Protein backbone atom coordinates (compact mmCIF):
# COMPACT_ATOMS: atom_id res chain seq x y z
CA UNK A 1 0.00 0.00 0.00
CA UNK A 2 1.64 3.19 -1.21
CA UNK A 3 -0.01 5.31 1.46
CA UNK A 4 1.40 3.18 4.31
CA UNK A 5 5.06 3.54 5.34
CA UNK A 6 6.67 1.30 7.93
CA UNK A 7 9.31 3.22 9.87
CA UNK A 8 11.92 2.10 12.36
CA UNK A 9 13.48 4.30 15.03
CA UNK A 10 16.98 3.08 15.93
CA UNK A 11 17.34 4.11 19.57
CA UNK A 12 20.84 2.78 20.14
CA UNK A 13 24.09 3.90 21.72
CA UNK A 14 27.30 4.32 19.74
CA UNK A 15 30.53 2.64 20.62
CA UNK A 16 31.51 6.08 21.79
CA UNK A 17 34.06 7.86 19.59
CA UNK A 18 34.93 4.61 17.80
CA UNK A 19 33.99 4.97 14.13
CA UNK A 20 34.71 1.40 13.03
CA UNK A 21 32.89 -0.31 15.88
CA UNK A 22 29.91 2.07 15.72
CA UNK A 23 29.60 1.55 11.98
CA UNK A 24 29.37 -2.22 12.52
CA UNK A 25 26.58 -1.66 15.05
CA UNK A 26 24.72 0.58 12.60
CA UNK A 27 25.04 -2.03 9.85
CA UNK A 28 23.63 -4.75 12.12
CA UNK A 29 20.72 -2.47 13.07
CA UNK A 30 19.87 -1.80 9.41
CA UNK A 31 19.83 -5.52 8.71
CA UNK A 32 17.53 -6.12 11.67
CA UNK A 33 15.15 -3.36 10.52
CA UNK A 34 15.11 -4.81 7.02
CA UNK A 35 14.11 -8.25 8.35
CA UNK A 36 11.05 -6.59 9.89
CA UNK A 37 10.19 -5.04 6.49
CA UNK A 38 10.87 -1.46 7.59
CA UNK A 39 11.03 0.98 4.69
CA UNK A 40 12.79 3.79 6.56
CA UNK A 41 15.20 3.55 9.48
CA UNK A 42 16.32 6.65 11.39
CA UNK A 43 19.36 7.00 13.65
CA UNK A 44 20.09 9.76 16.19
CA UNK A 45 22.17 12.91 15.90
CA UNK A 46 25.95 12.44 15.65
CA UNK A 47 25.59 8.71 16.32
CA UNK A 48 28.62 7.98 14.14
CA UNK A 49 30.88 8.14 16.14
CA UNK A 50 29.04 9.87 19.03
CA UNK A 51 28.08 13.12 20.73
CA UNK A 52 30.85 15.29 22.32
CA UNK A 53 29.69 14.83 25.91
CA UNK A 54 33.20 15.56 27.22
CA UNK A 55 32.91 19.29 26.52
CA UNK A 56 30.55 19.84 29.44
CA UNK A 57 32.72 17.70 31.73
CA UNK A 58 36.29 18.86 31.06
CA UNK A 59 36.02 22.66 31.11
CA UNK A 60 35.71 22.51 27.35
CA UNK A 61 35.95 26.28 26.88
CA UNK A 62 39.32 26.51 28.63
CA UNK A 63 41.87 27.87 26.19
CA UNK A 64 44.71 25.75 24.81
CA UNK A 65 44.35 22.78 27.18
CA UNK A 66 45.95 19.43 26.41
CA UNK A 67 42.90 17.37 27.37
CA UNK A 68 40.50 19.16 25.02
CA UNK A 69 42.98 19.29 22.17
CA UNK A 70 43.68 15.56 22.41
CA UNK A 71 40.01 14.66 22.68
CA UNK A 72 39.23 16.83 19.66
CA UNK A 73 41.99 15.13 17.67
CA UNK A 74 40.62 11.71 18.65
CA UNK A 75 37.15 12.86 17.54
CA UNK A 76 38.51 14.07 14.21
CA UNK A 77 40.25 10.77 13.55
CA UNK A 78 36.96 8.97 14.15
CA UNK A 79 34.87 11.32 12.02
CA UNK A 80 33.49 10.41 8.60
CA UNK A 81 34.82 11.46 5.21
CA UNK A 82 32.01 10.64 2.80
CA UNK A 83 34.16 11.37 -0.25
CA UNK A 84 36.48 8.50 0.69
CA UNK A 85 33.60 6.02 0.63
CA UNK A 86 33.30 5.61 4.40
CA UNK A 87 29.51 5.20 4.13
CA UNK A 88 29.67 2.77 1.20
CA UNK A 89 28.76 -0.22 3.39
CA UNK A 90 25.65 1.59 4.65
CA UNK A 91 24.67 2.53 1.10
CA UNK A 92 25.09 -1.09 0.00
CA UNK A 93 22.80 -2.30 2.77
CA UNK A 94 20.19 0.31 1.81
CA UNK A 95 20.22 -0.91 -1.79
CA UNK A 96 20.33 -4.59 -0.91
CA UNK A 97 17.36 -4.30 1.45
CA UNK A 98 15.42 -1.53 -0.34
CA UNK A 99 15.39 0.58 2.82
CA UNK A 100 15.87 4.34 3.14
CA UNK A 101 18.10 5.67 5.92
CA UNK A 102 18.62 8.88 7.89
CA UNK A 103 21.94 8.74 9.71
CA UNK A 104 23.53 11.33 12.01
CA UNK A 105 27.30 11.57 11.53
CA UNK A 106 30.26 13.74 12.39
CA UNK A 107 31.58 14.75 9.00
CA UNK A 108 35.11 15.89 8.25
CA UNK A 109 34.38 17.65 5.00
CA UNK A 110 37.09 17.58 2.36
CA UNK A 111 35.54 20.52 0.51
CA UNK A 112 36.19 22.65 3.60
CA UNK A 113 39.83 21.60 3.88
CA UNK A 114 39.34 18.25 5.60
CA UNK A 115 40.10 19.29 9.19
CA UNK A 116 36.96 20.93 10.63
CA UNK A 117 34.01 18.88 11.86
CA UNK A 118 30.33 19.19 10.97
CA UNK A 119 27.30 17.59 12.59
CA UNK A 120 25.63 16.19 9.48
CA UNK A 121 22.39 14.36 8.74
CA UNK A 122 22.74 12.03 5.75
CA UNK A 123 19.81 10.73 3.71
CA UNK A 124 20.38 7.53 1.75
CA UNK A 125 17.54 6.36 -0.49
CA UNK A 126 16.36 2.80 -1.04
CA UNK A 127 18.60 2.56 -4.11
CA UNK A 128 21.65 3.13 -1.91
CA UNK A 129 22.35 6.65 -3.15
CA UNK A 130 23.30 9.52 -0.83
CA UNK A 131 20.75 12.17 -1.77
CA UNK A 132 21.56 14.88 0.75
CA UNK A 133 24.06 15.74 3.47
CA UNK A 134 22.69 18.41 5.77
CA UNK A 135 25.35 20.12 7.89
CA UNK A 136 23.85 21.52 11.07
CA UNK A 137 23.27 25.23 10.56
CA UNK A 138 24.09 26.33 14.10
CA UNK A 139 25.79 24.13 16.70
CA UNK A 140 24.35 24.67 20.17
CA UNK A 141 26.26 26.10 23.14
CA UNK A 142 29.36 23.96 23.90
CA UNK A 143 28.94 22.07 20.60
CA UNK A 144 30.49 25.16 19.00
CA UNK A 145 33.81 24.22 20.60
CA UNK A 146 34.11 21.18 18.33
CA UNK A 147 31.53 21.50 15.49
CA UNK A 148 31.55 24.07 12.70
CA UNK A 149 28.40 25.85 11.43
CA UNK A 150 26.99 24.35 8.24
CA UNK A 151 25.13 25.78 5.25
CA UNK A 152 21.79 25.55 3.49
CA UNK A 153 22.77 22.93 0.93
CA UNK A 154 21.17 20.12 2.87
CA UNK A 155 17.79 21.79 3.26
CA UNK A 156 16.27 19.22 0.92
CA UNK A 157 13.33 16.84 0.88
CA UNK A 158 12.95 13.41 -0.70
CA UNK A 159 10.10 11.32 -2.07
CA UNK A 160 9.42 8.10 -0.17
CA UNK A 161 6.31 6.29 -1.39
CA UNK A 162 3.59 8.97 -1.07
CA UNK A 163 5.54 10.89 1.57
CA UNK A 164 7.89 13.83 1.22
CA UNK A 165 10.53 13.51 3.93
CA UNK A 166 13.04 16.03 5.30
CA UNK A 167 15.09 16.38 8.45
CA UNK A 168 16.94 18.63 10.89
CA UNK A 169 19.46 18.12 13.67
CA UNK A 170 18.55 18.70 17.32
CA UNK A 171 17.99 22.39 18.18
CA UNK A 172 17.79 23.29 14.49
CA UNK A 173 14.25 22.04 14.92
CA UNK A 174 13.61 25.15 17.03
CA UNK A 175 14.64 27.41 14.10
CA UNK A 176 11.33 28.49 12.51
CA UNK A 177 12.86 29.51 9.19
CA UNK A 178 14.71 26.21 8.77
CA UNK A 179 11.44 24.39 9.38
CA UNK A 180 9.65 26.69 6.95
CA UNK A 181 12.21 25.95 4.24
CA UNK A 182 11.32 22.26 4.46
CA UNK A 183 7.59 22.95 4.65
CA UNK A 184 7.90 25.01 1.47
CA UNK A 185 9.44 22.02 -0.30
CA UNK A 186 6.34 19.98 0.49
CA UNK A 187 7.58 18.13 3.56
CA UNK A 188 4.92 16.03 5.27
CA UNK A 189 7.17 13.62 7.18
CA UNK A 190 9.64 15.50 9.37
CA UNK A 191 12.68 13.76 10.85
CA UNK A 192 14.16 15.31 14.01
CA UNK A 193 17.36 13.68 15.29
CA UNK A 194 18.76 14.19 18.79
CA UNK A 195 21.74 13.01 20.85
CA UNK A 196 19.29 11.71 23.44
CA UNK A 197 16.89 12.52 26.30
CA UNK A 198 13.17 13.18 26.42
CA UNK A 199 13.63 16.72 27.72
CA UNK A 200 14.43 17.54 24.08
CA UNK A 201 11.81 15.45 22.30
CA UNK A 202 8.76 15.58 24.56
CA UNK A 203 7.46 19.06 23.71
CA UNK A 204 8.81 19.94 20.29
CA UNK A 205 7.81 16.73 18.51
CA UNK A 206 4.12 17.41 19.00
CA UNK A 207 4.58 21.14 18.41
CA UNK A 208 6.17 20.66 14.96
CA UNK A 209 3.54 18.09 14.02
CA UNK A 210 0.74 20.47 14.93
CA UNK A 211 2.39 23.46 13.25
CA UNK A 212 3.15 21.63 10.02
CA UNK A 213 0.27 19.13 10.01
CA UNK A 214 2.89 16.49 9.25
CA UNK A 215 4.11 13.30 10.84
CA UNK A 216 7.15 13.96 13.03
CA UNK A 217 9.64 11.27 14.00
CA UNK A 218 12.09 12.18 16.75
CA UNK A 219 14.97 9.73 17.20
CA UNK A 220 17.43 9.90 20.06
CA UNK A 221 20.45 7.87 21.02
CA UNK A 222 21.35 6.34 24.38
CA UNK A 223 24.55 6.85 26.34
CA UNK A 224 25.67 5.58 29.73
CA UNK A 225 29.09 6.24 31.17
CA UNK A 226 29.50 2.51 31.81
CA UNK A 227 29.51 2.11 28.01
CA UNK A 228 32.40 4.53 27.40
CA UNK A 229 35.27 2.51 25.85
CA UNK A 230 38.24 2.07 28.15
CA UNK A 231 40.45 3.33 25.33
CA UNK A 232 38.83 6.79 25.39
CA UNK A 233 41.51 9.46 25.90
CA UNK A 234 41.38 11.07 29.38
CA UNK A 235 38.53 8.76 30.40
CA UNK A 236 39.24 9.10 34.13
CA UNK A 237 38.98 12.88 33.91
CA UNK A 238 35.71 12.67 31.93
CA UNK A 239 34.16 10.30 34.46
CA UNK A 240 34.88 12.59 37.44
CA UNK A 241 31.87 14.80 36.66
CA UNK A 242 29.80 12.56 34.39
CA UNK A 243 26.33 11.37 35.46
CA UNK A 244 25.69 7.66 35.05
CA UNK A 245 23.17 8.34 32.26
CA UNK A 246 24.19 10.89 29.64
CA UNK A 247 21.27 10.27 27.27
CA UNK A 248 18.09 8.33 28.10
CA UNK A 249 16.51 8.15 24.64
CA UNK A 250 13.05 9.67 24.24
CA UNK A 251 12.41 8.57 20.65
CA UNK A 252 8.79 9.16 19.66
CA UNK A 253 6.32 9.86 16.83
CA UNK A 254 3.53 12.43 16.61
CA UNK A 255 0.77 12.42 14.01
CA UNK A 256 -0.34 15.37 11.84
CA UNK A 257 -2.86 16.40 14.51
CA UNK A 258 -0.04 16.78 17.07
CA UNK A 259 -1.11 13.77 19.12
CA UNK A 260 1.16 10.90 20.10
CA UNK A 261 1.43 7.81 17.95
CA UNK A 262 4.44 6.62 19.94
CA UNK A 263 5.13 8.40 23.23
CA UNK A 264 8.78 9.00 24.21
CA UNK A 265 10.48 5.69 24.96
CA UNK A 266 13.09 5.85 27.72
CA UNK A 267 16.10 3.69 28.56
CA UNK A 268 15.27 1.02 26.00
CA UNK A 269 17.84 0.11 23.38
CA UNK A 270 16.74 -1.26 20.04
CA UNK A 271 14.39 -0.65 17.14
CA UNK A 272 10.93 0.86 17.56
CA UNK A 273 8.44 0.38 14.69
CA UNK A 274 5.29 2.10 13.51
CA UNK A 275 3.15 2.30 10.37
CA UNK A 276 2.29 5.77 9.05
CA UNK A 277 -0.83 6.39 6.93
CA UNK A 278 -0.35 9.25 4.46
CA UNK A 279 -4.11 9.93 4.33
CA UNK A 280 -3.79 11.55 7.76
CA UNK A 281 -1.75 14.35 6.18
CA UNK A 282 -4.54 15.32 3.81
CA UNK A 283 -7.09 15.14 6.61
CA UNK A 284 -5.23 17.63 8.81
CA UNK A 285 -4.25 20.00 5.96
CA UNK A 286 -7.96 20.68 5.45
CA UNK A 287 -7.98 23.28 8.22
CA UNK A 288 -4.35 24.42 8.28
CA UNK A 289 -1.40 24.41 5.87
CA UNK A 290 1.47 26.75 6.85
CA UNK A 291 2.81 27.23 3.31
CA UNK A 292 -0.43 26.60 1.39
CA UNK A 293 -3.91 27.96 1.99
CA UNK A 294 -2.95 29.42 5.40
CA UNK A 295 0.01 31.45 4.10
CA UNK A 296 0.35 34.99 2.75
CA UNK A 297 3.43 35.06 0.48
CA UNK A 298 2.40 38.51 -0.74
CA UNK A 299 3.25 39.76 2.77
CA UNK A 300 5.90 37.41 4.22
CA UNK A 301 8.29 35.25 2.21
CA UNK A 302 11.45 33.27 2.99
CA UNK A 303 14.61 33.29 0.82
CA UNK A 304 16.92 30.27 1.17
CA UNK A 305 20.53 30.01 -0.02
CA UNK A 306 21.25 26.34 -0.72
CA UNK A 307 24.69 26.83 -2.23
CA UNK A 308 27.32 24.57 -0.68
CA UNK A 309 29.77 26.95 0.97
CA UNK A 310 33.51 26.70 0.43
CA UNK A 311 36.33 29.10 1.20
CA UNK A 312 38.10 28.63 -2.12
CA UNK A 313 36.69 28.43 -5.63
CA UNK A 314 39.08 27.06 -8.25
CA UNK A 315 38.81 27.91 -11.95
CA UNK A 316 41.18 25.76 -14.01
pLDDT at 78: 98
Q: How many residues does the chain have?
A: 316
Write the CATH number for 74: 3.60.110.10
User: What are the angstrom distances between the C-alpha of 156 and each of 65, 88, 91, 147, 186?
Assistant: 39, 21, 19, 21, 10
User: Which of 79, 100, 81, 73 minimizes the C-alpha distance to 10?
Assistant: 100
CA distance 117 to 78: 11
Alpha carbon distance 133, 261 (integer Å)? 28
The reported pLDDT for the residue numbered 2 is: 87
254 and 276 Cβ atoms separated by less than 8 Å:
no
Residue 132 lies in a domain: yes
User: In this structure, what are the phi and psi dihedrals at residue 5, rounded to the nearest 5 degrees?
Assistant: -125, 125
Does residue 170 fall inside a structural domain? no
Domain of 27 in residue numbering reads as 4-152+219-252+262-279
User: What pLDDT does residue 1 have?
Assistant: 80
Active site residue 45: yes
Structural domains in the chain (count): 1
- Cβ 105 vs Cβ 81: under 8 Å: no
- Is the residue at 304 inside a domain? no
Q: What is the pLDDT of residue 69?
A: 96
Say what the pLDDT of residue 42 is.
Answer: 98
- The three-point CA angle 151-220-76 to 5° equals 50
Residue 123, CB-side half-sphere exposure with 13 Å CA sphere: 23
Give the contacts of 97 (CB within 8 A, at least 6 positions apart). 30, 31, 34
Instruction: List the catalytic residue out of 86, 136, 143, 161.
Output: 136
Confirm whether 136 is a catalytic residue: yes
Inside any domain, residue 158: no
**Domain contains 227:** yes
pLDDT at 313: 87
Among 170, 187, 211, 252, the one annotated catalytic: 170
Q: Is residue 162 part of a domain?
A: no
Does any domain span residue 13?
Answer: yes
Catalytic residue among 45, 172, 187, 211: 45
The span from the CA of 51 to the CA of 130, in Å, is: 22
What is the CB neighbour count within 10 angstroms for residue 148?
17
Q: Is residue 201 part of a domain?
A: no
pLDDT in tens, the chain (316 residues): 889 999 999 999 999 999 999 999 999 999 999 999 999 999 999 999 999 999 999 999 999 999 999 999 999 999 999 999 999 999 999 999 999 999 999 999 999 999 999 999 999 999 999 999 999 999 999 999 999 999 999 999 999 999 999 999 999 999 999 999 999 999 999 999 999 899 999 999 999 999 999 999 999 999 999 989 999 999 999 999 999 999 999 999 999 999 999 999 999 999 999 999 999 999 999 999 999 999 999 999 999 999 999 998 889 9
Amino acid sequence: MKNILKVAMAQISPVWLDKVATLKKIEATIQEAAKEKAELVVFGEALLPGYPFWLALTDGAAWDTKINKELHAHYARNSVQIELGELDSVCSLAKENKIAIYLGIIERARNRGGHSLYCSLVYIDAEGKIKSVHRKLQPTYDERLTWSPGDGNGLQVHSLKQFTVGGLNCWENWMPLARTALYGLGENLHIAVWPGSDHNTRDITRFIARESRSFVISVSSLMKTEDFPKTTPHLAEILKKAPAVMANGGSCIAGPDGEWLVEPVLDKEGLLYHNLDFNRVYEERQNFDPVGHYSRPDITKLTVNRERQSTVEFKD
